[in-house]
């Protein structure tokens, strides 16, 4: 299953590159921009789906990780590291 998914992913990447190259080489810049604008709904949908999945996945992972810890000091360290990473990533972004 993992190999099949990897091949599908690589195929999709190559197909995307080929489609982009084809549109860019076969159409003038104005028409290529219009085609890209028509495909923007797919990219917006994909990004919204990713955002919808990431937050619950991270939350569930943290809750499950903390629930399996027995030491209160370890929970505090994980919480501090989590907040540090979150604040650091927010500042960088």
Model confidence pLDDT, tens digit, residues 23-45 = 888 888 888 888 878 888 888 89
| Token pair recorded at residue 88 | 């650091």
pLDDT of residue 8: 93
Decide if pLDDT at 74 tops 80: no
Contact 62, 82 (CB under 8 A): yes
Model confidence band, residue 1 (pLDDT cutoffs 50, 70, 90): low
Q: Specify the pTM.
A: 0.43
pLDDT of residue 70: 75
Question: What percent of the chain is predicted at pLDDT more than 70?
Answer: 99
Decide if pLDDT at 11 tops 90: yes
Q: How many CB atoms are closer than 10 A to CB 34? A: 11
**What is the C-alpha to C-alpha distance for residues 7 and 1, in angstroms, rounded to an integer?**
10
């Amino acid at each position: 299953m993992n190999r099949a998914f990897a091949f599908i992913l690589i195929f999709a990447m190559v197909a995307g590159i080929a489609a982009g190259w084809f549109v860019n080489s076969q159409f003038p810049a104005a028409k290529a921009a219009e085609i890209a604008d028509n495909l923007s709904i797919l990219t917006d949908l994909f990004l919204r789906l990713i955002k919808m999945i990431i937050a619950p996945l991270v939350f569930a992972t943290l809750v499950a990780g903390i629930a399996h810890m027995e030491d209160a000091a370890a929970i505090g360290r994980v919480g501090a590291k989590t907040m540090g990473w979150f604040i650091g990533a927010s500042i960088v972004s």
